[in-house]
Amino acid sequence: MKYYSLNGTAPAVDFRTAVINGQAPDKGLYFPGTVPVLDADFWEGIGRYDDHAIARRIILPYAGDSIPEAELARIVEETLSFPVPLRPVSESMHVLELFHGPTLAFKDVGARFMSRCLSWFARGLDGRVVVLVATSGDTGGAVAAAFHGVPYVDVVVLYPKGRVSPVQEAQIAGAGDNVHALEVAGTFDDCQALVKQAFADTNLREALYLTSANSINVARWLPQQFYYALAWKQWPRKDRPPVLSVPSGNFGNIGAALLLHRSGLPVQQFVAACNANDGVARLLAGTPGERRAAIATLSNAMDVADPSNFVRILELFGGDTAALRQMLRVTTTTDDQTREAIRAVYERFGYVLDPHSAVAWHGLQQGLPPGEHGILVGTAHPVKFPGVVAEETGAPVPYPPAIAGLMERPLQKEPLAVSYDALRTRLLALR
């Protein structure tokens, strides 16, 4: 598989180079040259395959020419080392629970897949690989956990001071060793701008193998397709494909779902459920307006003003926004509506939603035609947001064993001003 840059001037590359570069030299996102089609037999008979076989089938055309098949099988096995259950919550709604991985949020799968691919590729290089990440909350923790202790690789995580939850911070700054946590005196957009500047710095990139682990890296983005095949495997009504609501910030997760739909995944309609950050909703409504800064909300992993993966979705539809609007509805949800959803779903069905999943619930309510059935994607465990969840349900959320020891680890973080020079100096010290 060749990957081309969406900015159109960098040369097409193989999977290995796309993973190591992260972003193309012309600053474009990489996009696969073809979208493989999985035949009707696969989708109809998906219940016959185990989860790893399904994942291998999906990823092989994307990565198979850069990683030997047996190695790829091992990577898939280590990536999907936890269940992805589809739980019925009400008569018309299921929740696809993506939060049973080590950091209790859906980014575990992409981060684990990428760390193992990168480690495989880094063995042959003559210098260290530095993974540079800006996070609004969950990416950083997932990446820190996925790369902690991985040979030949350092991880540098930039996160906005005071804007991530205590559990998220513990996951980012509690890892230590080859994971460096930089607490930035600014917003997520500031963090992202600093990271973009580093990637555009050719001198720096001659000194270090710099790569991203945000969902723009194809090794983060592509394995998110696994979830949706596993959802379909468990979907009880194969005669009626679901409406699928995905809580969306950078639009990577929903982009992966749309990509798998191109490969044949049966879905009736997609909902990109956003919080108050409504940039894409305005764009698709034909009223883009002015650029705005990100708004801080309860669903902080989705506080993104300018979603980087949206260009991939546009590419998938050949830039045809009318066709895109047919398939994808973009909804927005306020913090009050998020709270209301947490309370209502708990009272009516006894199910506890985290704020991100609550946004997807609210989005599905808006996007679900009467009589239809839907899946909302649960992207984070409610324990990651104990304050708001306990306020709305009236009950504290118990810590699952996976993170019981997490809060005792000392934080190892360094302050960073919103200054590119400061970041550059810090990165060069890793050589």
Ligand X SMILES: *Cc1c(COP(=O)(O)O)cnc(C)c1O
Which residues are near ligand X by CB under 6 A? 105, 107, 138, 215, 247-253, 301-302, 356, 379-380
Q: Shortest approach of ligand X to residue 193 CB, angstroms?
A: 17
* CB of residue 214 to ligand X, shortest distance in Å: 9
- H or E element at residue 377: strand 374-378
Q: Which is nearer to ligand X, 76 or 359 (CB)?
A: 359
Do the Cβ atoms of 6 and 29 come closer than 8 Å? yes
> Least distance to ligand X from the beta carbon of 227, Å?
11
- Sorted by sequence, the CB contacts under 8 Å of residue 50 that are 6+ apart come out as none
In the complex, the smallest distance separating the C-beta of residue 240 from ligand X, rounded to whole angstroms, is 26
Q: Between 137 and 374, whose beta carbon lies closer to ligand X?
A: 137
Helix axes 51-63, 69-79, angle to 10 degrees: 130
Nearer to ligand X, 107 or 112 (CB): 107
What is the DSSP code string of 88-142?
Answer: E-SSSEEEEE---STTSBTHHHHHHHHHHHHHHHHTT-SS-EEEEEE-SSHHHHH
Distance CA 117, CA 204 (A): 23
Find the shortest distance in angstroms from Cβ 423 to ligand X. Answer: 22
Task: Please identify, using beta-carbon distances, which residue of 211 and 253 lies nearer to ligand X.
Answer: 253
> Minimum Å distance from CB 22 to ligand X?
16
How far apart CA 254 and CA 111 sit, in angstroms, is 16
How far apart are the C-alpha atoms of 97 and 273, rounded to whole Å? 16
* Cα dist from 193 to 111, 308, 392, whole Å: 21, 12, 35
> 21 or 192: whose CB is closer to ligand X?
192
Q: Tell me whether residue 302 or residue 364 sits nearer to ligand X (CB atom).
A: 302
Q: Least separation, in Å, of the C-beta of 135 and ligand X?
A: 9
The Cβ-side half-sphere exposure at 360, using a 13 Å CA radius, reads: 28
Task: Return the percent helix, strand and coil in the chain, to nearest 5.
Answer: 45, 15, 40
Closer CB to ligand X, residue 247 or residue 279? 247
CB of 125 to ligand X, least distance (A): 28
**59 or 353, CB closer to ligand X?**
353
Locate 377 and state its tokens: 């994607």
d(C-alpha 6, C-alpha 14), whole Å: 15
- Helix runs in 135-251, H state only: 138-147, 166-173, 188-199, 202-207, 218-221, 225-234
Q: Which residue number places its CB atom closest to ligand X?
A: 138
Q: Are 291 and 306 in contact (CB under 8 A)?
A: yes
Q: At its nearest, how many Å lie between ligand X and the CB of residue 329?
A: 15
Pick the closer one to ligand X by CB: 66 or 338.
338
- Cβ-Cβ contacts under 8 Å for 359 (sequence gap 6 or more): 247, 273, 274, 275, 299, 302, 333, 338, 341
- Residue holding tokens 């269940």? 83
Question: Toward ligand X, which CB reaches closer, 23 or 66?
Answer: 23
Q: How far is the CB of 375 from ligand X (least distance, A)?
A: 15
Q: Whose Cβ is closer to ligand X: residue 208's or residue 342's?
A: 342
User: In angstroms, what is the minimal distance from the CB of 249 to ligand X?
Assistant: 4
Q: What are phi and psi of 345, to 5 degrees?
A: -70, -35
